[in-house]
Chains A and B, each alone.
Chain A
Amino acid sequence: MSEPEVPLQLGLKVGDPAAFGSVYDRYGPGLYRAAWRMLGRQADAEDAVQEVFAAVVRSRHRLGEVEDLGAYLFASLRRAAQRIARQRGREPKPGLASDPPVESPDGQTADAERLWRAVARLPAAQREVLALKIDGELTFMQIGTVLGISPNTAASRYRYALEKLRETLETKR
């Protein structure tokens, strides 16, 4: 557990609203972006982030055992995203949707939108690792914890995902 997160986790454990606010400010944007990338829809991403915080409230008595709050929150997000995808009937179990609906953010340049859509067409496992690294800004160590794989496997999966993305973009040209 990193030093600055200890009081934050204690705050969450006792249900302090300010601690929840601080955790949202630190992790909320990353969780939201990763959820959007995983689920492909803005509304679903918002639901997933809410689910993560609701799960923290429900299991706050176990927060003392959590060593890495960031990895814990993103693991919770992954479960929430899988649940939401299943509820929407889009998930081939047990991974995330392999062909999610593509809804890109408003006001993007044509290049950015092309990139966004190309990511949405990646296989679920590769999209997931991209979401955790780029949108969630997690380290490979944290990604390994979230996905239950080694940091090296997470790093190579990330690299394969970028290579596949490059191929997709080149064939589209």
Chain B
Amino acid sequence: MKHDPHSLPPDLAALEQGLAAARPEPPAHLRSQVLQRVQWEQSRSPRRRRLHFAAAAAIVLLLGAHFGFGLSHPQGVPRPGLDRRQAQAGYRELREALPELPEEQAWRMSLSMAAGQNLLPYGPTGSARLVQPANNPRWNP
């Protein structure tokens, strides 16, 4: 005889039977409540589909409008380049003032100073020249 791995000893089987015997029956009204709920959900489904479609269409329209506006109004941020001559001048000044400063560090500092001179706040649509002060004071150690 083949052994059933799921078979229970007699005491557990009796307990199982006791549990099965104590099962409650659903109330009579539950069937009609469930079927009413099904009907309600079914009537709601087409409305939900229409709402989802409208929401998706609105999102596509908004994204399209935003993209179109972006194309017609370019808002590039100007990136001022680094003035190499200014950096070299700064390097020479640094080496003169601080001869013990290592060469690499002097270069790094002069490059940072040259780049920092151009870091002035301006709006994304404006030109750097419009807001840059005429007399931009150079850093002078």
Chain A positions within 8 Å of B, measured between CB atoms, are 15, 17, 20-21, 24-25, 28-29, 32-33, 36, 42, 46, 49-50, 53-54, 56-58, 105, 108, 111-112, 115-116, 119, 130, 134-135, 140, 152, 155, 159, 162-163, 165-166, 169
Q: Nearest Cβ in chain A — how far from B3, in angstroms? A: 13
A159 touches B8 (CB 8 A): yes
B30 touches A53 (CB 8 A): no
Which of A33, A53, A105 is B34 in contact with, Cβ under 8 Å? A53
Number of B residues with CB within 8 Å of any CB on chain A: 28
Best-surrounded residue of B5, B21, B26, B30 (most CB of chain A within 10 A)? B26
Number of A-B contacts (CB under 8 A): 86
Chain B positions within 8 Å of A, measured between CB atoms, are 5-6, 8, 11-12, 15-16, 18-27, 30-31, 33-35, 37-39, 41-42, 45
Q: Is the interface of A mostly helix, strand, loop or mixed?
A: helix
Please report the C-alpha to C-alpha distance between residue A153 and residue B8 in the assembled complex, in whole angstroms: 15
19 A-B pairs within 8 Å (CB atoms) are namely A17-B38, A20-B38, A33-B23, A46-B33, A49-B30, A50-B33, A53-B34, A56-B38, A112-B21, A115-B19, A130-B19, A135-B23, A152-B5, A155-B5, A159-B8, A159-B12, A162-B15, A163-B12, A166-B12
Q: Is the interface of B mostly helix, strand, loop or mixed?
A: helix
Residues of B contacting A116 in the complex (Cβ-Cβ under 8 angstroms) = 22
Given A155-B6, A165-B15, A166-B12; A46-B30 close (CB under 8 Å): yes
Please report the C-alpha to C-alpha distance between residue A169 and residue B35 in the assembled complex, in whole angstroms: 39
Given A130-B19, A162-B15, A166-B15; A33-B24 close (CB under 8 Å): yes
